[in-house]
Amino acid sequence: MQNLTLILLLAAMAGGAFYAGRRRSFAVVGGPAHGAQLHSLPGYYGYFTLIWCLLPALGLFFVWVLLEPKVIVALIVQSLPDPQRMVSEGELNLLVNNIRNLAAGDAISGDADAVMRDAAERYNEYLAASRRVLATLTLGIAGLGGAIALRRIRPEFRARNRVEQVVLYLLIAASSIAILTTIGIVLSVLFEAIRFFREVSLTEFLFGLTWSPQTAIRADQVGSSGSFGAVPLFTGTLLITTIAMVVAVPVGLMTAIYLAEYSSSRVRAVAKPLLEILAGIPTVVYGFFAALTVAPWVRTAGEAIGLEVASESALAAGLVMGIMIIPLVSSLSDDAIHAVPTAMRDGALGLGSTRSETMIKVILPAALPGIVGGILLAVSRAIGETMIVVMAAGLAANLTANPFEAVTTVTVQIVTLLVGDQEFDSAKTLAAFALGLVLFVVTLCLNVIGLMFVRKYREQYE
């Protein structure tokens, strides 16, 4: 919370800087009565001072806070006696963690020895020192920045242009965050995946038929190497996605057609918001419904007709996922259908087509690119969907196309591998990132192609 105090102090200084800047601008022209002599409105001189006071100090603050833990840990590790330092990376991490917990006064795993207590004490010392230096530096820079800005205020000084320039840079920075996010995703997933592929070959991962990532904790244990053939995950994902699309595409498309062509405006006014509600239900809720309600139904229904159905069948997860995707398909199809000019519809009706003939032979073919684009986006959504499959599909990596059996998916495995205690460097953990890379690349391709279709199509009729 000490950092919060510092931020509040900074904010107070910034407020002060604003008023100081404003007053100074009046002072240089000899009072508010002569304000017209200033190049910019007095407020801009205030903002100018505020920016000089705040921005450099804030920049320093964030860099410091970000680097602080790393530097301190490095110092602590450096100061440890040799026997403790010469251990594996994993054990060192554990040790550092324990030291940190000890310093914070929390419970630690194992007993604390003298070395550790020493280290913890040093940790706290470094932390306190760091905070002191940070506070002094930040406030000092803020004051200095403000003072420099104040000195630069002259009647002919173009404060507005300066302030606007800074604001423009801030806007650019904000818009580049979207790009940074993508880069961040690519880099974070890629680096860990590359580390994974150093241990497991790419061909084994992409074409191997067995998935059992349970690596042993100690190297000398039996069956220590897990196998990372991801084909069962891909087929499982494909199976559930297919079931979902078999539900969502016809139902979504027919819903869009019915609402666009047949329903009265009153039915439309009720049905559309209801579908939007369907789209707004969190996926975890669908997952709960799939696991606790639909899966037992599917099982009972299957058994009633003499089929053997796993309790976590692909069918249950796929059905519910399909329902979840109906609104997406229907709203994108609706857009596509409505983008077809009414003249086309009139032309067909004028020749004596029935409404269904108009729809099937004229409007749908014209709307096809838009609908295909929408379906691609829906497939991407189904592949990336996590909670429904985590809750309703199994963990067993079966290589099967039987919808009544349990299968697992890429997203389920990512969650399973990363939830709970984990060593960050084991192949098991890294495998999740490799799967994440596959997921990202596949959905990215689908999205790019799908969006391209939708956009091209929209332009065609504009």
Partner 1 sequence: MAGMTEMKITEEEAMPEARSADSAVEPARHRPMGATARKAVERVTELGEQTVGEVRCENPFIVTENVDVYYGDNHAIQNVTLEIGKSEVIALIGPSGCGKSTYLRCLNRMNDSIESARVTGKIALDGQDIYGSDLDPVALRARVGMVFQKPNPFPKSIYDNVAYGPRIHGLAADRAELDDIVHTSLDRAGLLKEVKDRMDEPGTGLSGGQQQRLCIARTIAVNPEVILMDEPCSALDPIATARIEDLIDELSQDYAIVIVTHSMQQAARVSKRVAYFHLGRLVEVDETDKIFTNPRHKLTEDYITGRIG
Partner 2 sequence: MTANRKNSREIVEAGLARRRRKEATFRATGMLATAVGVIFLGVFFGTLVMQGASAFKQTFIKLDVEMSESVLAPDGDLDLAYADFDGLVRDALRRGFPAVSGRKERRELYRLVSVAAGYQLRDELTSDPSLLGSTITIWVPASSNVDMLVKGNIDPAIDESLRPISDAQAGWIESLQQADRLETRFNKALFTNGDSREPELAGIKGALMGSFYMLVVTVALAFPIGVAAAIYLEEFAPRSRWSDLIEVNINNLAAVPSIVFGLLGLAVFINWMALPRSAPLVGGLVLSLLTLPVIIIASRAAIQAVPPSIREAALSLGASKMQVVFHHVLPLALPGMLTGTIIGMSRALGESAPLLMIGMVAFIVDVPGGFTDPATALPVQVYLWADSPERAFAERTSAAIIVLLGFLLIMNLAAVIIRKRMERKW
Q: How far is the CB of 333 from partner 2 (least distance, A)?
A: 11
List the end-to-end C-alpha distance of the chain, in Å, as a whole number: 56
Q: Name residues contacting partner 2, limited to 242-301 (CB under 8 A).
A: 250-255, 257-259, 261-263, 267, 271, 274-275, 277-278, 280-285, 287-289, 291-293
Partner that binds at residue 362, options partner 1, partner 2, none, CB closer than 5 to 8 Å by kind: partner 1
The one segment of 48-56, 84-92, 336-344, 356-364 that binds partner 2 by CB under 8 A: 356-364
Partner that binds at residue 438, options partner 1, partner 2, none, CB closer than 5 to 8 Å by kind: none
Q: How far is the CB of 244 from partner 2 (least distance, A)?
A: 14
Q: Which residue has the tokens 């279709």?
A: 453
Q: How far is the CB of 263 from partner 2 (least distance, A)?
A: 7
Closer to partner 2 by Cβ: residue 45 or 289: 289
By CB under 8 A, the count of residues binding partner 2 is 92
Question: How many Å apart are CA 272 and CA 393, to the nearest integer?
Answer: 30
Q: How far is the CB of 452 from partner 1 (least distance, A)?
A: 19
Q: How far is the CB of 348 from partner 1 (least distance, A)?
A: 7
For residue 348, which of 242, 221, 459, 261 has the smallest C-alpha distance? 261
- Could you list the residues that contact partner 1 (CB under 8 A)? 264-265, 341, 343-354, 357, 361-362, 365-366
Partner that binds at residue 447, options partner 2, partner 1, none, CB closer than 5 to 8 Å by kind: partner 2
Question: How many Å apart are CA 409 and CA 236, to the nearest integer?
Answer: 5
Tell whether residue 162 is a contact of partner 2 (CB under 8 A). no
> What residues does 11 pair with on adjacent strands?
none
Of these, 145, 302, 370, 436, which contacts partner 2 (CB under 8 A)? Answer: 436
Closer to partner 1 by Cβ: residue 369 or 436: 369
Of these, 371, 443, 453, 457, which contacts partner 2 (CB under 8 A)? Answer: 443
Closer to partner 2 by Cβ: residue 19 or 262: 262
* CA dihedral angle for residue 260, residue 266, residue 268, residue 270, rounded to 10 degrees: -170
CB 320, CB 243: distance < 8 Å: no
Residues in the chain: 462
Q: Name residues contacting partner 2, limited to 66-95 (CB under 8 A).
A: 66, 69-70
Q: How far is the CB of 350 from partner 1 (least distance, A)?
A: 4
CB 291, CB 390: distance < 8 Å: no
**Whole-angstrom Cα Rg for the chain:** 31
Closer to partner 2 by Cβ: residue 11 or 148: 11
Closer to partner 2 by Cβ: residue 150 or 257: 257
CB 426, CB 440: distance < 8 Å: no
Tell whether residue 197 is a contact of partner 2 (CB under 8 A). no
Q: How far is the CB of 376 from partner 1 (least distance, A)?
A: 21
Tell whether residue 39 is a contact of partner 2 (CB under 8 A). no
Tell whether residue 411 is a contact of partner 2 (CB under 8 A). yes
- DSSP states of 96-165: HHHHHHHHHT---SS---HHHHHHHHHHHHHHHHHHHHHHHHHHHHHHHHHHHHHHH--TT--HHHHHHH
Q: How far is the CB of 351 from partner 1 (least distance, A)?
A: 4
- DSSP states of 364-425: HHHHHHHHHHHHHHHHHHHHH--HHHHHHS-S-------TTS----HHHHHHHHHSSS--TT
Burial 129-163 (b: 16+ CB within 10 A, else e): ebbeebbeebeebbeebbeebbebbeeebebbebb
Question: How many Å apart are CA 23 and CA 83, to the nearest integer?
Answer: 63
DSSP 221: S
Q: Name residues contacting partner 2, limited to 380-409 (CB under 8 A).
A: 380-381, 383-387, 390-391
Q: How far is the CB of 127 from partner 2 (least distance, A)?
A: 13
Of these, 159, 239, 243, 414, which contacts partner 2 (CB under 8 A)? Answer: 414
- Distance (Å) of CA 199 to CA 39, 48, 90, 430: 65, 55, 17, 10
- Give the rounded distance of the alpha carbon of 153 from its chain centre: 45
Q: Name residues contacting partner 2, limited to 9-28 (CB under 8 A).
A: none
